Amino acid sequence: MKFGGTSVADLDRIRNVARHVKREVDAGHQVAVVVSAMAGKTNELVAWCRGAALLHDSREYDAVVASGEQVTSGLLAITLQAMGIEARSWQGWQIPIHTDGAHGSARIVAVDGAQLIEGFARGQVAVVAGFQGLGPDGRIATLGRGGSDTSAVAIAAAVQADRCDIYTDVDGVYTTDPRIVPRAGRLDKVSFEEMLEMASLGAKVLQVRSVELAMVHRVRTFVRSSLEPPDAVQGEAGTLICDEDEIVEQQIVTGIAYSKDEAQISILGVPDKPGVAAGVFTPLAEANINVDMIVQNVSPDGATTDMTFTVPAADFDRAMAVIEGEREAIRFERLQSATEVCKVSVIGVGMRSHAGVAAKAFQALASRGINIRAITTSEIKISVLIDAAYTELAVRTLHSVYGLDRT
């Protein structure tokens, strides 16, 4: 069971979390609980680090920001003990959760679940501080934002859990953002692949790395709400993320995702010769700038080519500076850019076996007067780049045209 920051925001909500845990214990389950820091606490701790020194040691940064989860794990263990449930808190280094040495954004290398399993045998609930592990230098290492989801899936895999329940402030995964499309419906089941695409393309329900880990280790993951009182949870309302084989009747399109954190860069008039793409994208890679959608158009005479691609909005200024710095090597004529753009994506494993899915999207957008700047596709996804002003109209149009509106 994993509970995020809003679920443990204060003592009343921690008591509510404890009642959720007690329900599972009373049902005869062996339980490990992963908790985030209280809502807003990590931001406060990060601000303190920056206030102490703008350029600070990332190892000390980890020592500070990991304390938020230490507090909530201890408080939840105390609360469970007061309810008569044997429980103890665990920090990431005590289990241990081994990570690589990238302090501040470490990746989990291995988890030793032996001590947790021994505790289960004694009837003990393990309350684990999420977001943290033990680096190769013997120091606390944090996993980056959203890392508690990753902690939970990694621990579930290590103890061979039947399921990993992610409790959040929404009651599951929806066909799109309900704030934009009120008729969006909650999905009962989503395949790992679809959830990975949805998470990476803007859906904020789960952190991308946690979905990757769940897919690799085949950890069945259930997204459900912690804000309902435990005794008011009817059955198991939520969304199960699982193997495609478990989904009996598969929709052609499962959901519509969008991301406004995009910027478009066009490099115009580049000499068309072997190695030109490498000359553009290698410097960006060396600057750790992720490039997403790429479109290339060669001039009619074959002498020059234009390249258009997208980067995260946060990296836009750096990307422009890198390209400008390579002007002599690339020998382009001019640069164009746009920051008021949005990526809208149609996702569904059913696309593999159905023709015309992309054509339907393009026709629907055209009928609404929405111009497409760039397109990228995979087996189970179509993404289009459009002007940000048309985001909501595009999402509503595509949600409706694929029959996802609830009746």
Q: Give the number of other CB atoms < 10 A from CB of residue 244.
A: 15
Residues 276 and 167 in one domain: no
Per the domain annotation, does 221 fall within a domain?
yes
At 334-348, the pLDDT tens digits run 999 999 999 999 999
**Which domain CATH number covers 272?**
3.30.2130.10
Residues 48 and 192 in one domain: yes
Per the domain annotation, does 7 fall within a domain?
yes
Gap between the Cα atoms of 42 and 106, Å rounded? 16
Residue 96 preceded by cis peptide, ω within 30: yes
Two tokens, residue 306: 């234009």
Two tokens, residue 139: 């120091």
DSSP result, 341-373: EEEEEEE-GGGGG-SSHHHHHHHHHHHTTPPP-
Q: What is the mean pLDDT of residues 210-222?
A: 94
Residues 177 and 289 in one domain: no
Residues 212 and 282 in one domain: no
Q: Where in the sequence is the domain holding 357, given as residue range(s)?
A: 256-401
**pLDDT category, 248, cuts 50, 70, 90?**
confident
Q: What is the mean pLDDT of residues 199-208?
A: 77
Per the domain annotation, does 250 fall within a domain?
no
Dihedral angle sign, alpha carbons of residues 191, 197, 198, 203:
positive
Find the length of the chain: 407
Gap between the Cα atoms of 234 and 42, Å rounded? 33
Per the domain annotation, does 267 fall within a domain?
yes
How much is the pLDDT for 207? 81
How much is the pLDDT for 249? 67
Q: What is the mean pLDDT of residues 23-40?
A: 95
Those residues whose C-beta lies under 8 Å from the C-beta of residue 51, and which sit 6 or more positions away, are: none
pTM, rounded to two decimals:
0.83
Q: Give the number of other CB atoms < 10 A from CB of residue 201.
A: 21
Those residues whose C-beta lies under 8 Å from the C-beta of residue 182, and which sit 6 or more positions away, are: none
Per the domain annotation, does 167 fall within a domain?
yes
Two tokens, residue 184: 């969006």
Residues 177 and 198 in one domain: yes
**pLDDT category, 261, cuts 50, 70, 90?**
confident
Those residues whose C-beta lies under 8 Å from the C-beta of residue 396, and which sit 6 or more positions away, are: 180, 181
Two tokens, residue 276: 């030109």
Distance (Å) of CA 92 to CA 5, 87, 125, 137: 17, 16, 16, 14
Compare 238 and 233 and report the one with higher pLDDT.
238
At 93-149, the pLDDT tens digits run 999 999 999 999 999 999 999 999 999 999 999 999 999 999 999 999 999 877 999
Where does a domain end: 245, 273, 295? 245
The answer to whether the beta carbons of residues 331 and 271 sit under 8 Å apart is yes
Q: What is the mean pLDDT of residues 221-227?
A: 88
- Residue among 248, 246, 201 nearest 221 (CA): 246
Q: Is the pLDDT of residue 233 over 60?
A: no
Q: Give the number of other CB atoms < 10 A from CB of residue 374.
A: 20
Q: Is the pLDDT of residue 235 over 90?
A: no
How much is the pLDDT for 201? 76
Q: Is the pLDDT of residue 10 over 90?
A: yes
How much is the pLDDT for 407? 61
Q: Is the pLDDT of residue 234 over 70?
A: no
Residues 299 and 216 in one domain: no
At 38-95, the pLDDT tens digits run 999 999 999 999 999 988 999 999 999 999 999 999 999 999 999 999 999 999 999 9
How much is the pLDDT for 69? 97
Q: What is the mean pLDDT of residues 259-267?
A: 93
At 84-104, the pLDDT tens digits run 999 999 999 999 999 999 999
Residues 202 and 325 in one domain: no
Residues 10 and 148 in one domain: yes
Tell me if residue 238 falls in helix, strand or coil: coil
Q: Is the pLDDT of residue 209 over 90?
A: no
The answer to whether the beta carbons of residues 231 and 368 sit under 8 Å apart is no
The one-letter code for the residue type at 298 is V
3-class SS string, 288-317: CCCCCCEEEEECCCCCEEEEEEEEEHHHHH
How much is the pLDDT for 354? 85
Gap between the Cα atoms of 209 and 215, Å rounded? 10
Where does a domain end: 218, 245, 272? 245
Residues 318 and 227 in one domain: no
Residues 27 and 148 in one domain: yes
% of the chain at pLDDT higher than 90: 77
Those residues whose C-beta lies under 8 Å from the C-beta of residue 375, and which sit 6 or more positions away, are: 293, 295, 382, 383, 384, 385
Two tokens, residue 59: 């190892």
Two tokens, residue 339: 């920051």
Residues 51 and 15 in one domain: yes
Gap between the Cα atoms of 201 and 398, Å rounded? 15
Residues 216 and 296 in one domain: no
Gap between the Cα atoms of 141 and 385, Å rounded? 36
Where does a domain end: 206, 226, 245? 245
Per the domain annotation, does 251 fall within a domain?
no
Per the domain annotation, does 156 fall within a domain?
yes
For 395, counting Cβ atoms within 10 Å of its Cβ (0-12 exposed, 13-18 middle, 19+ buried), the class is: buried
Those residues whose C-beta lies under 8 Å from the C-beta of residue 132, and which sit 6 or more positions away, are: 62, 66, 69, 91, 92, 93, 97, 140, 141, 142, 143, 147, 151
The region of weakest confidence among 1-10, 162-171, 240-249 is: 240-249
Q: Is the pLDDT of residue 15 over 90?
A: yes
**Which domain CATH number covers 62?**
3.40.1160.10
**pLDDT category, 14, cuts 50, 70, 90?**
very high
Per the domain annotation, does 390 fall within a domain?
yes
Gap between the Cα atoms of 211 and 226, Å rounded? 20
How much is the pLDDT for 169? 78
- If one counts the domains in the chain, the total is 2
